[in-house]
Amino acid sequence: MIRKINETDKEQYMIFTEHFYNSDAVMHPVPKEYRESTWQELMRSDEYLECFFVEEDGIAKGFLLLAYTFSQEAGGKVCWIEEIFIEPEYRGRGLGRECFAFIKQNIEPVCKRIRLEVEPDNFRAKKLYSEMGFGYLPYEQMLKGR
């Protein structure tokens, strides 16, 4: 089951994000204050961000963080899958696929494009994303700032 987080979920959210940012799925950790800032924005509005817990038998096993923007190139609203994280002991049970089914049913109808990033060596994630219909963009990204 996928459910939107609420104000009582902060502790679990912080645990999940700490685990995510200390995993092989990311290139570097993110400071706690950034994750705190994200939490504050999640509680303020769902205009830019939404977060959902992935539950099984009523227990949160991971999370899905979505960010929104507008793209002239895409012709409308774009959803970035910022983070999908399932605790390692619960992987391989279809929870990631459940996230993508949720996105297909609830996000794709209102967004023109769905984007995500993946670490070059995260072959398991790449396989899943490809199976879910994602392809590679021929862009290189550039960054200024943190």
Structure tokens at 90: 């619960």
pLDDT number for residue 66: 98
pLDDT number for residue 95: 95
Q: Are strands 113-116 and 76-86 parallel, antiparallel or unpaired?
A: parallel
pLDDT number for residue 146: 66
d(CA 14, CA 25): 17
Low-confidence residues in the chain, pLDDT < 50: none
Contacts 24+ apart (CB under 8 A), 25-28: 25/85, 25/119, 25/122, 25/125, 26/119, 27/119
pLDDT number for residue 29: 83
Beta bridge partners of 55: 60
pTM: 0.91
pLDDT number for residue 27: 82
Give all domains of the chain, ordered by start, each with its CATH number: 2-131 (3.40.630.30)
DSSP string, 60-97: EEEEEEEEEEEETTTTEEEEEEEEEEE-GGGTTSSHHH
Q: Which residues contact 127 (CB under 8 A, 6 or more apart)?
A: none
pLDDT number for residue 34: 95
